[in-house]
Amino acid sequence: MATARHLGRIPPETAAETPISRLDDREAVILGPEDPMDSALEQLTARGLSWAPVVESGRLLGRLTVKDAIATYRRTLERSIRRTTELPGDTAVFEAKLHPASPVAGKLLREAHFPADTLVASIIRQGNTIFPHADTRLEAGDIIVVMADPASEEALHSFLGDMDVSRPAQK
């Protein structure tokens, strides 16, 4: 039976070739490649672990370290800050819940073609916050947080159609 200690000894370059028939998950956090970063980081810190194996279909894909997760958050935050500073000071912020019939449900963010001067700042999916990139797939049930130039507000509402659109509470 493989344990976290065993998995930690597998060189990263051979990880994908390593089949895992049985994994003892009592002492480790086992992640899948689609697990949200915030959920993975929460599991690691709750157990006082510095890394976790990423496993799919009985194969070790690699490992996620707390250091890697924090570096990813920093890069994402820096990109988001750069993008948001380009928006006007009177930028409007909206939340919209995607319904199954939404024209963007199931599409990658880059394929959704949001109106000009809008930015999807984050996605809340099943209680987890995702900081999206072009390859993030929008799913029915997602709550998207969109920032827009007030001049684009009407186009944004029209684009979003009959979705539940609201302004988040100001803090």
Residue 128 and residue 40: Cα distance in Å, rounded?
A: 10
Q: Tell me: the pLDDT tens digits for 95-145?
A: 888 888 888 889 999 999 888 778 888 899 988 888 888 889 999 999 998
Amino acid at position 74, single letter: R
What is the pTM for the complete model shown? Answer: 0.49
Residue 60 and residue 20: Cα distance in Å, rounded?
A: 7
- Please tell me the predicted confidence (pLDDT) of residue 111: 92
Residue 110 and residue 99: Cα distance in Å, rounded?
A: 19
Given a cut of 60, whether residue 162 has pLDDT beyond it is no
Residue 55: strand pairing partners = 60
The domains found in the chain, sorted by start residue, are 4-68 (3.10.580.10), 87-166 (3.30.70.1450)
- Please tell me the predicted confidence (pLDDT) of residue 81: 61
What's the rounded mean pLDDT across residues 38-42?
82
